[in-house]
Structure 1
Amino acid sequence: MHFTSEQFLTIILVIVSSEYILTTLVDWLNLRKKSAGLPAELKDIYSEKQYTKALAYQRANTNFGLVSGLFSFALIILVIVFGVFGILDEFVRSNFETLTTQTLAFFGIIFIVNDLLNIPFQWYATFSIEEKYGFNKLTPAIFWKDKLKGYVLTAVIGGILLSLLIFLISYLGQSYWWIFWIVISLFMIAANFFYTSLILPLFNKLTPLKDGELRQEIMNYGKQVNFPIDNIYVIDGSKRSTKANAFFSGFGKRKKIVLYDTLLEKHTNSELVAILAHEVGHYKKKHTISGMFSGILQMGLMLFLMSFMIFSPELSKALGANHLSFAVNFIAFGIIYTPVSLLIGIFSNYMSRKHEFQADEFASNTYKGEALQSALKKLSVDNLSNLKPHKLYVFIHYSHPPLLQRLKAIKSSKS
């Protein structure tokens, strides 16, 4: 089926508007879903004062999201209606000779302009909202350093991948997609292997967990579940935020468990081992591998679908170009792909929530369910988490189950 540029434009505008309406509606429903007072089942988790503060934090973030969302929606509508992408395409064609440099310049300009427009929102979120509620530890100097490092990484990695994509499209035509899929898949696997060794140290300092009681308890647990734990690192997350976290990275001998220093400050050894047991559960249940291959399959689907649209001059004209433009078509396809991406995201979040329950059960059965419950409660209180989010918001956005559901499941697994 072939569409005219006018039909493509209509589809694009409908998708952009529908996504904005859906996102705004879900945020509004989540904002209104609150209790008049502290629910009885939460009294052992939150004090009245903490609960009121959590509600205020959620309200501040949601209201801010509604304002920034409206700005983004209005901006993209204006850009589409006035053919700004087409104007930019003509500019880079006039000032750069090759297709590769034109495409790199096109996306480089979009990236920089978009980031500059978003800096005021990022600044307010960090130095106003996060600061007000006691989370922010980021200094303006670190903020700008992170920005510059992000620009360099995006330019190097994004530039190489985009250049290769343009090369394959130019010389292979529609069959480019499966070769680039192989390349991007290898890149995703390599990124998982080397993220904590090459990328993360550019932003944070990783130090091995010191010898002591905690390390010994962790090593003992590893032996108990037949899981060699040699690479345990502490990350200096406290230089950016008081929020705590832990994550698992890599495979085989390169696998690493990373604990935030803020996590160590606020939790007992038993709670920390329980959190680590949860991460080991993900590895034992092969969630890490399945998640990576799920991402690879999703990338393949996207590239396959894009191969049917990337050569359409009418799609380029829909966004204001006068002729076929791969760069403009990347943007147009990205918008048209939004409904597919939304559905995949919902399914991925569903599977992720399921995996979290399984990792909780593993930790509860192989260590101490009470310690895991205590750790999750502390994390929720310290992060001012939304304890009773709207079901639709959870369905669409949550990769982790709400706290009360996790506590109930852990309790059931031990009964």
Structure 2
Amino acid sequence: MTFLTVLILFFIVGAWGLETWVGKLNIQSLGQPIPAAFKHAVDAQKYARSQEYTRKNSTVSFFSNFVNVTAIVMCLFFGIFNTFNEWASALFSGAILQGLAFLGIVSLASMLLSLPFSIYTTFVIEEEFGFNRTTPALFIADRVKGILLSIIIGAPLAAGVIWFFQIFPNMGWLIAWGFATAFLFAVQYVAPIWIMPLFNTFTPLEDGELRQAIEEFALKTGFNLSGIYIIDGSKRSNKANAFFTGFGKQKRIALFDTLVNSMTTEEIVGVLAHEIGHCKLNHIKRMFATSIATTGLTFFCLSLVLGYQPLYAAFHVEHMTIAVGMVLFNFLYTPLSLVLTIFAAHQSRKYEFEADAFAAKTTKAPCELSRALIKLSVNSLSNLTPHPAYVFLHYSHPPVVDRIEALETITVE
């Protein structure tokens, strides 16, 4: 066993150990009493139910992570990636096709490992707690569409990256970075038009009180909309949501039908004011810029190890290829990836507070957003008392109790 093998094993098991420890702290944190902001909205029975929901999902997450780390360790010691590479070489000739085949095999294996947990979560846990509306046929259709999209969208991106690294050994990372950035821009543009409608039906919001209130708020804040749509989220889950898609002149508001059916007009406008705040405060552009910078750093680091033979030897891979190197690099990149993920989550939580403040000040009704956040949390059985370490490691949004407390301190003129 080489030093590099020990180092990679330490990264893999260490990341899993950190995740397991933080998850345990989060479960222990469930013993706290009902937060004051929720005492009027949650009784003891409902609160206990939300805690049980968190416990069961955490248990599934633990076993899922355990299976994944076990599979990776097996790949490290038994040369499974070498076997996958040999299969890819037997199927196709040419570095790009072989590389795509290898990445496809790895992706398929990963999907098969996670599939039992997805099925259990959807049809057992979500069903038990009254959220699931996904039928087996819809579940299968979603997976098939996901695979097809991975082939249609992911394969050209991966092929381009492989080709650039192959043709330009020294500057391939820089060209691949530019290619990936342009590709991401294109996907952002076409997603609301061609991709999202494959999974959900987008129906224009009819004229009425809600549409008028949304349009008036958008006009007041100088936010241009290309459309307001109702999305049939209820065909999969009872949980509510709202989001923006697209950029430039293609910005759309998508409201889950479950959201429209469970909230007042003022509460919905409060939620959308928060989302508009992200745009007006340039959060989306900043996060996209951060993502681009992270991609560039990742490609640069990848370029440093693609030709490093000991990395392949650590996984018992006999033939060095770009596609195999891309997969193996992920395990060596684990510590830096964790740091970047934590940083991005920290920035995201900061932006959420700022968007809340924007919504409170522009609607002049912070209480409406607070009520909406309480409803969303109660209806989705959210964990109201997450452990700070778990929040630090995982949460892209601040705990809802912290958001409500922050809203209460905002002075509206």
Fold conserved between structures, TM > 0.5: yes
* Coarse TM-score class (shorter-chain normalised): over 0.9
Is 1:291 the counterpart of 2:320? The answer is no
Aligned to 2:264: 268
Aligned to 1:322: 318
Is 1:335 the counterpart of 2:331? The answer is yes
> Displacement, 1:226?
2.2
Q: Decide which moves more: 72-81 or 380-389.
A: 72-81
Is 1:381 the counterpart of 2:382? The answer is no
Is 1:91 the counterpart of 2:87? The answer is yes
Task: Report the secondary structure of 1:136's partner residue.
Answer: coil
> Displacement, 1:72?
1.4
Is 1:248–1:258's contact at 8 Å kept on the other side of the alignment? yes
Aligned to 1:76: 72
Distance 2:302 2:51 in 1: 42
| Alignment-mate amino acid for residue 318 of structure 1 | A
Matches within 5 A, 1:206-245: 206-245=202-241
Is 1:308 the counterpart of 2:304? The answer is yes
| Alignment-mate amino acid for residue 402 of structure 1 | P
Task: Report the secondary structure of 1:258's partner residue.
Answer: strand
| Alignment-mate amino acid for residue 214 of structure 1 | L
Q: Decide which moves more: 324-333 or 334-343.
A: 324-333
Distance 1:253 1:101 in 2: 37
Task: Report the secondary structure of 2:305's partner residue.
Answer: coil
Task: Report the secondary structure of 1:134's partner residue.
Answer: coil
Is 2:38–2:374's contact at 8 Å kept on the other side of the alignment? no
TM-score by length of 2: 0.96
Tell me which of 383, 395, 401 is aligned to 2:398. 401
Task: Report the secondary structure of 1:384's partner residue.
Answer: coil
> Displacement, 1:50?
0.9
Matches within 5 A, 1:31-110: 31-35=27-31, 37-110=33-106
Deviation track 1:242-263 (CA, whole Å, cap 9, x = no partner) reads: 1111111222211111111110
Long gaps (5+) in structure 1: none
> Displacement, 1:6?
2.1
Distance 2:56 2:354 in 1: 33
Distance 2:226 2:98 in 1: 47
Distance 1:248 1:36 in 2: 35
> Displacement, 1:205?
0.6
Aligned to 1:127: 123
Deviation track 1:100-155 (CA, whole Å, cap 9, x = no partner) reads: 11111111112222212322111001000011011111000000001111111111
Amino-acid identity (%): 39
Task: Report the secondary structure of 1:307's partner residue.
Answer: helix
Distance 1:390 1:182 in 2: 39
Tell me which of 363, 388, 393 is aligned to 1:391. 388
Is 1:137–1:242's contact at 8 Å kept on the other side of the alignment? yes
Distance 1:98 1:249, change over 3 A: same
Distance 2:186 2:87 in 1: 36
Distance 1:84 1:192 in 2: 35
Deviation track 1:313-336 (CA, whole Å, cap 9, x = no partner) reads: 221111111232222211211111
Aligned to 2:158: 162
Compute the RMSD of aligned alpha carbons: 1.4
| Alignment-mate amino acid for residue 400 of structure 1 | H
Distance 1:98 1:64, change over 3 A: same
| Alignment-mate amino acid for residue 396 of structure 1 | L
Deviation track 1:232-251 (CA, whole Å, cap 9, x = no partner) reads: 11111111111111111222
Tell me which of 252, 255, 259 is aligned to 1:256. 252
Task: Report the secondary structure of 2:254's partner residue.
Answer: strand
Is 2:370–2:407's contact at 8 Å kept on the other side of the alignment? yes
Distance 1:100 1:8 in 2: 28
